[in-house]
Amino acid sequence: MSWKIGVIDLPVYLVLAAIILTAAYFNKIPANMLGGFAVIMIWGFSLEM
Residue 6 backbone dihedrals phi, psi, to 5 degrees: 65, -120
According to the model, what pLDDT value does residue 44 have? 81
Distance CA 41, CA 38 (A): 5
Domain segments of the chain as ranges? 4-47
Contact 19, 35 (CB under 8 A): no
pLDDT in tens, the chain (49 residues): 688 887 889 899 899 889 988 988 898 888 888 788 888 888 887 776 6
Question: DSSP of the chain, one letter per residue?
Answer: ---EETTEEHHHHHHHHHHHHHHHHTT-S-SSHHHHHHHHHHHHHHHT-
For the chain, how big is the Rg over CA atoms in Å? 11
According to the model, what pLDDT value does residue 1 have? 63
